[in-house]
Amino acid sequence: MNASSRDNTKTPTRRAQQTGTFVGTRLQPDLLAEIDAWRREQPDLPSRPEALRRLAVKGLRGDRSR
């Protein structure tokens, strides 16, 4: 197998069962650092998009726990 073929092999990730609406946003480095720190505290290390979804749900539900 040549190098370019090896580089393209990735472990498949689980996709959402439903496709949602794309929402693109820019984050300042300090906020992104806080989000990344929160991600590292989670037992399953969610991706950044998943972390943002979880944090949005927590905020909308008034959940103040980390």
Average the pLDDT over 11-36 and give the result: 87
Residue 66 reports pLDDT greater than 70: no
Residue 28 reports pLDDT greater than 90: yes
How many angstroms separate the CA atoms of 38 and 53, rounded? 13
With tokens 């609406």, the residue in question is 21
How many angstroms separate the CA atoms of 55 and 53, rounded? 6
* pLDDT confidence tier of residue 8, bands split at 50, 70 and 90: low
* pLDDT confidence tier of residue 63, bands split at 50, 70 and 90: confident
Residue 15 reports pLDDT greater than 80: no
Residue 11 reports pLDDT greater than 70: no
Contacts of 42 (CB under 8 A, 6+ apart): 51, 54
